[in-house]
Amino acid sequence: MNDQQEKTKLWKIYGILMGVMVGGAVLILGGQAAWNAIQQNMSKARIEENKPPSTNSLSLSTPQAPAEVRSQTPSSAPLISTERVSFNEGSTGATIRDSVTANQRKRYLLNCGSGQRMTVQIRQGDINVTIISPNNQTIGNAANGVSQWQDQLPNSGDYILEISAPNQSGYIINIEVL
């Protein structure tokens, strides 16, 4: 075997090794990204957008304040978690799918304007929904007996939809703001 053939053979081996290393790195990084996505999706409520005929999007984010507040006596005060729901321009609502335990409250913050009309409908679940205005006044409720609430909003600001349940319950609620 001459010197040129040896160099060619070494370069082929080097090319194969580099290909295997790059392929392995891609598989490892792809697997890690998939695992992170799965973990992130499992830890958040499933929220879907109700779209009018045009395409719109919805984003959900956790506010800057602590997401959970635990009481000093866990048996007496509930665990509270808060998430912000924001609608992009042209979007009119969202469907929220999640679950709540008996000693837990989940809050969804929606920034709305004075005069807008909000509709909250419980599609599934043995839950109570309390609608709280920006000035911290309860303005409505929905529960199993009355599974829908609708009204014109009196103030501009962050409205709170507080979900609670007498027992552990999965739920689906529709929120519409026009």
Task: Classify each residue of 61-89 as buried b or exposed e, where b means 16 or more C-beta atoms within 10 Å of its C-beta.
Answer: eeeeeeeeeeeeeeeeebebbbbbbebee
Task: Give the pLDDT confidence of 41-89 residue by residue, as tens digits.
Answer: 554 555 555 555 443 344 444 444 434 444 444 455 678 999 998 776 7
pLDDT of 65 reads 41
- The closest of 172, 112, 169 to 139, measured between CA atoms, is 112
- Return phi, psi of residue 126, to 5°: -95, 75
Q: What is the CATH number of domain 46-177?
A: 2.60.120.380
Report residue 9's pLDDT band, with 50, 70 and 90 as the boundaries: confident
Among 14-18, 55-59, 155-159, the least confident range:
55-59
Indicate the domain borders of the chain: 1-43, 46-177
